[in-house]
Amino acid sequence: MKKISFAMPIYPPHFRNALNFITSFKKHKLHLQSDFYLVFSNSNDQEKFKALAGKADFKSLILPFIPQRTNATAAIKKFYALSCLKKLYQYIIVVDSESLIIKNIDLMKMCDEFYQNKILYGNETLAGIKLDRITNRALWHFKNHPQLKNAKTNLYLWFNQICIYENECLEEFFKLTKINENLTEVLWEDFEHYIYMTYLILYRNFRIENIEIISRYGIFEAYNFKPTSMKFLYTQFYHCTPGIYNLIDTRKVFMFIQIDRKGILPLNSPDYIFKNACSRVKETLSYQLGFAMIKNFKGFKIFKLPFILAKIAIKYKKIQQKYQFLSLVNPILQLPSLESYVDFPKALECKKHLSYILGSTLIKSYKRYKWGGGISFFV
């Protein structure tokens, strides 16, 4: 029995999308690691899809009732699938029909990594984008939790991570929310993964990490974004839209999502509010080198320090080269001047940190005395 399954809610207008996904799923051999389920509204839809799909390999789930609110159908189908499959698989990955597999990866490793790292990526949104209906509804399901404030954030989380559900977590999740007992009460605002991520924060010690990007909604819902640091170049994601595939680190990307969307973030939006100036300083080579020196200047680690510093410098150089190329090809990726950040004074304070001072001194000394026989590590 496979330990992982995919589940996809589907209705007639998206049948062709679902068939394309199944084809890509098998082409890249994910069917050897995982089962795949389509969640239908009724048996008639199931039969129509079977007639279109021919010999395509998939399993089916059919809602036991007809939803009264069609705008909540997708969420109802996802909750129903999770309720049905939670005892059959260790992990369940929920995807929308506007998705496509582009390569094979180790799914179990990906799922384990997600629950070990306990990180949820969030991004800033353009001013005026209202998320309260979705986020407040997610919080409502846990309104009696004493630490509810820990799950409140101004960052947008939707679509920034693969929707991976764990058997053990789902047992507690449904016990707390009782959503599976009241599927007919699911509202449009009940974004299933937003509710689940709120649970992960409150009950499983997940933390929100700012990916330091401004987008209209989630990073991967649009075909463009405005970075406020270079974090997007060294953070590894597992999915993205086709339009930003060449702009990020794609070593782990195995799936395209939102393949039907072509939203473009305006190049000169007055709504940009640049924050996180300290992150820009911490990304500098000076700060990274100095931080590594402080961290490793003890015991036997000191003997490895030259190699650690060289590794940091080489990685930094590669990221800089990629950034320079991308920002030349796509000007929207050019980072703003540090002075334009609202928290610029904090950046100045960061430059007074011992890490930055040590690193700057090391680089200046390197340039002055040409250590390493002229090998260009730090310049």
Domains located in the chain, CATH noted:
4-256 (3.90.550), 277-374 (no CATH)
pLDDT at position 366: 80
Q: Roughly what angle, to the nearest 10 degrees, separates helices 132-140 and 192-203?
A: 50
Q: Considering just the CA atoms, what is the radius of gyration of the chain in Å?
A: 23
Beta strand pairing status for 239-240 and 255-256? parallel
Confidence class for position 210, pLDDT limits 50, 70, 90: very high
Q: What is the pTM of this model?
A: 0.88
Give the residue-averaged pLDDT of 137-142.
Answer: 95
Q: Which residues pair with 119 in a beta bridge?
A: 207
Query: What gap in Å lies between CA 196 and CA 209, rounded to an integer?
Result: 17
Query: What gap in Å lies between CA 134 and CA 194, rounded to an integer?
Result: 8
For 161-209, the pLDDT digits (tens) are 999 999 999 999 999 999 988 888 888 899 999 999 999 999 999 999 9
The total number of residues written for the chain in this structure? 379
- Is the pLDDT score of 128 beyond 70? no
Query: Is residue 242 within 8 Å of residue 256, measured between CB atoms?
Result: yes
Start-to-end CA span in the chain (Å): 54
Query: Is residue 253 within 8 Å of residue 99, measured between CB atoms?
Result: no
- Is the pLDDT score of 375 beyond 50? no
Which uninterrupted H or E stretch holds 117? helix 107-117
**Start-end of H helices in 118-273:** 132-140, 167-177, 192-203, 231-234
The backbone torsions φ and ψ at residue 158, rounded to the nearest 5 degrees and listed phi first, read -65, 130
Query: What gap in Å lies between CA 270 and CA 368, rounded to an integer?
Result: 43
Give the residue-averaged pLDDT of 283-297.
Answer: 92
The residues, ordered by sequence, that sit 6+ positions from 106 with a Cβ below 8 Å of its Cβ are: 33
Give me the chain's average pLDDT, please.
89
